[in-house]
Amino acid sequence: MNVHRPAADVRDTDAFFARTSTDPLADAFSGRMGAHAHGGGMAVAPGEVTGLWKRLAASPRTGPSVAYVHVPFCENRCLFCGFYQNPWRREMGAPYVDAVLAQLAADARTAAQQGHPLRAVYLGGGTPTALAARDIARLVEGLHRHLPLAPDCEITLEGRIVSFGLEKARAAFDAGVNRISLGVQSFDDGVRRRMGRKSTRAETVRFLEGLMRLDRGAVVIDLIYGLPGQDRATFQEDVRLAAALGLDGLDLYSLKSIPGTPLMMAQDKGKLAVAAPGELGHFYADGAAEMDRAGWEAISTTHWRRGTRERSLYNLEVKAGAECLAFGAGAGGNLQGHGFRITPDLDTYRDRAAAGSARLVAGLTRPAPLGPVHAAIKAGMERGRLVFASVDRALAGCGINGGFEPHAAPLLAQWQRAGLLTGHPLSVQLTLAGRFWQVAMTSRLIAWTDARFGGAETDVGRRATG
């Protein structure tokens, strides 16, 4: 075990500390700094990717594991979306599913794909529900055939209400999907029209009610606050309606202004106006209050559930650093702390899929020296309670002696004074304002930790470079 050799002290505390005010929901921080802004692993040189990937593929997984399947097509581009890749055409569906099945079959021979059970599989995009019912069924059946799924594996199908329909839902459930996640964003007809949503409030509600009557798996929706034309009363009504529908899970997300999106360009031209940044925390508080009144349980800072059917396993495990197999053009994954991405180019993907991921990986990053520590911080903050012992174990696993809490204490104490958390002997718990600012806090806490411990040689660092 290595003795901790601390890095230089963090001197620019203003970059980490929160503003102290009477309204921390509005102005604790000036931005929503991303959770991956600090401590990322270094990119692997292109000439080393193939050799390193072969070693990773030949190594059995031993810890919590999930899989992600990417369907990179959209029937239209949502104004706020920064992930749009390819326009959907019906004739593209079956050949694409064929290619994903070929990648699954080819990788089934690798130690990385075999053996250790997968806790969750997420079919995301894009819009997976744009696929024909038969292709959805073929894809999910292929997951069962080629992946070591745990008996209670959560299998999520993500999508949109338009072009989905109960026939596809039944086909998905029959094939083995047990969770459906739909991007509703808002029920309000005026807000939906401004955002280019094609179904009306009445059509959306009718479809969700039909899904619930099937009673075949968890049904989860996303709502977004801060949208153009949306005030707090409109958002509160959206949340009340979602709670009244009997859904299993609900995500409440803040609108993010992403450069290059149609929404951002419309904002720049003065055509659409979104909620001011200082208002977003109060939208969040309104939504959390409605969930509390309805008796729903918060299982993360953005996700609530009505009962035990909803688990949100994929999202929680990924935040906690689970290994992640990846399939489909543009999919991203994680093996032994190494991040990787499958080529997003559709032609290349289709041409090489039968050869497996060895011919498809477009890039790799090495583990961050304190990657397990980052994962422990993210996992606790995501759930709203950071237990120091979990971070201490991660530090010990990196070969670093010494507790986390003494080093983090100045930052945590300042955040407590700013109204973002409450302190306990063995943990800290986020307040309502802290839950809203969780991503910004997580990023700063990771950067603070890297500055404190980054000077220590770690076991993870040696393994990544050895």
Q: Return the HEC string of 395-461.
A: HHHCCECCCCHHHHHHHHHHHHHCCCEEECCCEEEECHHHHHCHHHHHHHHHHHHHHHHCCCCCHHH
CA distance 251 to 227: 15
Share of the chain above pLDDT 90, in %: 78
Residue 466 has pLDDT above 60, yes or no: no
98, 253, 73: which is closest to 163 by C-alpha?
73
pLDDT the model gives residue 265 = 66
Give per-residue pLDDT as tens, 377-400: 999 999 999 999 999 999 999 999
Give per-residue pLDDT as tens, 183-211: 999 999 999 988 877 889 999 999 999 99
DSSP codes of every residue in 81-140: -S---EE--GGGHHHHHHHHHHHHHHHTTSTTTSSSPEEEEEEEES-GGGS-HHHHHHHH
Any residues with CB less than 8 A from the CB of 419 and at least 6 apart, and which? 20, 24, 28, 431, 433, 434
| pLDDT-derived band at 453, boundaries 50, 70, 90 | confident
DSSP state of 2: B
Give per-residue pLDDT as tens, 341-363: 999 999 999 999 999 999 999 99
Residue 227 has pLDDT above 90, yes or no: yes
DSSP state of 15: G
CB 465 within 8 A of CB 457: no
pLDDT the model gives residue 31 = 60
pTM over 0.85: yes
pLDDT the model gives residue 14 = 79
Give per-residue pLDDT as tens, 250-259: 999 999 876 7
Question: If you average pLDDT over every residue of the chain, what do you get?
Answer: 90
Residue 280 has pLDDT above 90, yes or no: yes
* pLDDT, average across residues 12-28: 92
pLDDT the model gives residue 12 = 67
Other beta carbons within 10 Å of 89: 10
